[in-house]
Amino acid sequence: MDITLILKVAGVGILISVLNMILDKADRKDWSTFTTLAGVIIVLGIVLTEISDLFNTVRTMFQLY
């Protein structure tokens, strides 16, 4: 595992939290919820690719399937 994954997730988290603060101050709580949901989906996409790579590595290591 590389530190870039952690930095990507942290970067998305910081960006989404700043956007949420700005949208809350502008009284746009509905858009704030959508940005939070978008951030969660982006992070899940990043993490799922890494988990897929992990399972492929384990499968080739133990010669499964």
Q: Looking at the predicted structure, is the pLDDT value of residue 6 above 80?
A: yes
Are 31 and 23 in contact by the 8 Å Cβ rule? The answer is yes
Average pLDDT, integer, range 7-22: 97
- What is the model's pTM? 0.80
Per the model's pLDDT, the better-predicted residue between 22 and 63 turns out to be 22
- The structural domain count of the chain equals 1
Q: Would you place residue 49 in the very low, low, confident or very high pLDDT band (cuts 50, 70, 90)? A: very high
The residue to which tokens 């690719």 are assigned: 49
Q: What pLDDT band is residue 1 in, cutting at 50, 70 and 90?
A: low
Range of the domain at 35: 3-62
The number of beta carbons lying within 10 Å of the beta carbon of residue 61 is: 8
